[in-house]
Structure 1
């Protein structure tokens, strides 16, 4: 059944059976909301933590391009998180990646993003509901019930009828005001719908995880992150029916095995690494898709974890990967660590391939300006970045490679995303080479992104290795060339 006036829904995209092993049980559920701020992150984190504390191996997934929520989900479960983004990956790739990650795990929790049906266009492309259908995944909807009673039943009815093939398996009422309010909500839901109630959450006076300009506070910066997760899990255990939620996950339809995930440039098991690529993972820079790191390993890289905050000498590396993060939160410490700033600039001058995304690009600029004060950075590019009070670039990116570089073939078009509060300001008289023309997105300067210098490429655009198959093999090839030159 379809709501009057709604667009004709696309057919469900269930995993397609192939010749091979029989269907397998794959317990899974998605936690979604009607909008951002409904409480789905709180519920997702609490469920992941509570089930992990109970001894289950929970695989965490986050829909969309979100490093922060994904990082918290990983901390809650003790397992690396996986982002599932229909803008980057085809339904077949999403199914294959989901299957690959579920090889280890008893249960999958997928946190949606934005509103359940909010997508890239009016048809709902890339919406959480589309992902749920692609994964044949039951959905539990978190609804902010503030100042609401009977209306909640109308909302649930609308959600049920809006998109065929979307399995609404239960609802959770959030921010309820007291027993009387909860009784009214329960009566309305039970009288007018057949959707099970999975629990009622009270209003929480203080969020255990503070927020700031890019969402939740980073778990790498918050003291007592583990304790905060336990506090959330305690709330979830008191107010939600965890047994019933687990049953919903366990009763998800059997998973028909799909073709295995294809890794770009995969050299096969047992092959020795051919180059050492350093990647910074500290409190300043830590935004990495796990698939990007794995793609580099499979293409022949030995990954070496590094820090921009520690002045200790680095081991030999033949390439450097600088992910995104919060350099603005640690600008003083980054500026004070002159030995590392000089080391990174020297690597750039030597022609070592360096790939930087967003926060990593900010570190490669001359300086970072915050509230009128300049903090010196690595000085690879004759630009500075200046922090703003509002997002400068926010959303998906469509890019075209328009200049030669070590990482991406000329003429390549690809999808990415950006989320930055800083703007790029070129020094007077600076001659810049920008390697990416954006057909969608803000970028650095006048619709362009991807600053180039020698073998360095830096941009505000984040990329996903499975959506950009040339990136990892070419990065490793460039690092191999550095290794040969070094002898």
Structure 2
């Protein structure tokens, strides 16, 4: 595609919970139903919203995160993932200007400037009228370089409410109102402790829910003007360079990754990085008792093992197989939910469920988050995935914590410089060639991870 015409918009909110995810899903599905090829993106560390955006657009969603990635990497990732699309939609996170400090570093507004993308702001108008105009005016002038191209008014109460809102914004600002949505009596996509429920669990077919949102968007939003805003975004410029600095390597090992309803938190780029480094990927399940094929390495992502604890525990054959693979010296990398599966037990609502037993501790599911936010860690011991001294940037969002009777100890490979990890300042626990903890990484932020993973799998294969 001609790179000067990447049609793009950023959909932002004033805070978390304003309804921007619902609006983003509605727009993505409406664009798709209009016959457009949609490239979806999610700002920040997020798996669940990203998965729903993928379903809505019919195309994998990539995460763009200024904490993990330089401006050059973000522009490169956006450029290449937008190729072949007709419109690129970026859903922001938290409030438009909310970042890691008082200067708004790593905010949605900062990302929009990196992409030189127009911003559409979704505003929760509950119990507000003219004040919304003041908010819009303030957002327009708060930071230089922000292109606030329109607003969508959400959770409006009725025709009179909508009339006052529109007239207030039109009278006091130059920002167009691109649609007004009513209060929805119930969320069409239910939520749980970590955000929207997975599409793999939703009892009403996910596609029907997304089509219902698109119906709403087509009836109540000015889709044509929104498309025009995206189409008239400034020239993006020439190719900013490849995502990966090295050439793709011929497939030489098989790395299995568990992707089922219990474990499915994977950034697409993590899997792509493994393939780029020479891995053939094999999709596996810990909910099915179907035997696994021969593999040379294993990747266990995050997810919701607490929801499926009983089913996982009942699958004793696969759990024993995972333990045997670890004992054999196979390189195994596990994040959060994957770590929980590798421990001795998982306690949920007072009931203890036996897990794979690779690590001699249990995990217990709690009603409140035990770790939340960006992380930074230093590798303090060589392991198959990070050399000593490597700075590992990541994030965590876990409701479980490690529990031990005090008779067992874990061997940590990562010292936490920021974040909670597995507790007492450490994470990334080692057993032979298995490394597991609560930390999630993005492969493009730790470029040696995939290369070292494939090299360890190759070594294991040669000795098998």
1:288 lines up with 2:269 in the alignment: no
Shift of 1:267: 4.0
For 1:438 and 1:87, how far apart are their aligned partners in 2?
17
Shift of 1:148: 0.8
Give the match's secondary structure for 2:242. Answer: coil
Aligned partner of 1:390 among 336, 346, 368: 368
Contact 2:79–2:240 under 8 Å retained in 1:
no
> Where do 1:291-306 residues align within 5 Å?
291-306=269-284
Give the match's secondary structure for 1:328. Answer: coil
Contact 1:100–1:260 under 8 Å retained in 2:
no
Structure 1 unmatched runs, 5+: 1-20
Give the match's secondary structure for 2:428. Answer: strand
For 1:279 and 1:22, how far apart are their aligned partners in 2?
36
1:59 lines up with 2:54 in the alignment: no
- 1:166–1:98 CA distance, 2 compared to 1 (3 A): same
For 1:477 and 1:467, how far apart are their aligned partners in 2?
19
Contact 1:22–1:256 under 8 Å retained in 2:
no
For 2:273 and 2:7, how far apart are their aligned partners in 1?
27
For 2:77 and 2:102, how far apart are their aligned partners in 1?
27
Shift of 1:53: 1.3
1:197 lines up with 2:177 in the alignment: yes
Alignment correspondent of 1:344: 322
- 1:155–1:352 CA distance, 2 compared to 1 (3 A): same
> Where do 1:25-44 residues align within 5 Å?
25-44=5-24
Shift of 1:287: 0.3
For 1:411 and 1:248, how far apart are their aligned partners in 2?
46
1:121 lines up with 2:119 in the alignment: no
Alignment correspondent of 1:50: 30
Alignment correspondent of 1:463: 441
> Where do 1:347-386 residues align within 5 Å?
347-386=325-364
Alignment correspondent of 2:123: 143
Give the match's secondary structure for 1:450. Answer: strand
Contact 1:393–1:418 under 8 Å retained in 2:
yes
Alignment correspondent of 2:288: 310
> Where do 1:201-350 residues align within 5 Å?
201-223=181-203, 224-263=205-244, 266-268=246-248, 271-350=249-328
TM-score in terms of structure 1 length: 0.94
1:389-423 deviation line (CA, Å, top 9, x unaligned): 00000000011001121000101112110000000
1:342-397 deviation line (CA, Å, top 9, x unaligned): 01000000000000000000000001001111011111000100000000000000
Shift of 1:232: 1.1
Runs of 4+ more than 6 Å apart: none
For 2:2 and 2:299, how far apart are their aligned partners in 1?
41
Contact 2:96–2:107 under 8 Å retained in 1:
yes
Shift of 1:234: 1.0
Aligned partner of 2:426 among 448, 451, 459: 448
1:79 lines up with 2:68 in the alignment: no
1:3-40 deviation line (CA, Å, top 9, x unaligned): xxxxxxxxxxxxxxxxxx97520000010000001110
For 1:281 and 1:413, how far apart are their aligned partners in 2?
28
Contact 1:99–1:257 under 8 Å retained in 2:
no
Alignment correspondent of 1:3: none
- 1:248–1:22 CA distance, 2 compared to 1 (3 A): closer
Alignment correspondent of 1:130: 110
Aligned partner of 1:185 among 165, 183, 186: 165
Number of aligned pairs? Answer: 463
For 2:340 and 2:238, how far apart are their aligned partners in 1?
42
1:262-306 deviation line (CA, Å, top 9, x unaligned): 426x443xx531100000110000000100100000000000000
Structure 2 unmatched runs, 5+: none
Contact 1:71–1:81 under 8 Å retained in 2:
yes
For 1:155 and 1:177, how far apart are their aligned partners in 2?
19
Shift of 1:171: 0.3
1:69 lines up with 2:53 in the alignment: no
For 1:469 and 1:173, how far apart are their aligned partners in 2?
41
For 1:297 and 1:312, how far apart are their aligned partners in 2?
24
For 2:389 and 2:444, how far apart are their aligned partners in 1?
18
Contact 2:98–2:107 under 8 Å retained in 1:
yes
1:104-157 deviation line (CA, Å, top 9, x unaligned): 211100000000000011100000000000000100000001111111110011
Contact 1:398–1:441 under 8 Å retained in 2:
yes
Aligned partner of 1:479 among 457, 460, 464: 457
- 1:210–1:194 CA distance, 2 compared to 1 (3 A): same
Give the match's secondary structure for 2:163. Answer: helix
Aligned partner of 1:158 among 132, 138, 146: 138
TM-score in terms of structure 2 length: 0.98
**C-alpha RMSD over aligned residues:** 1.1
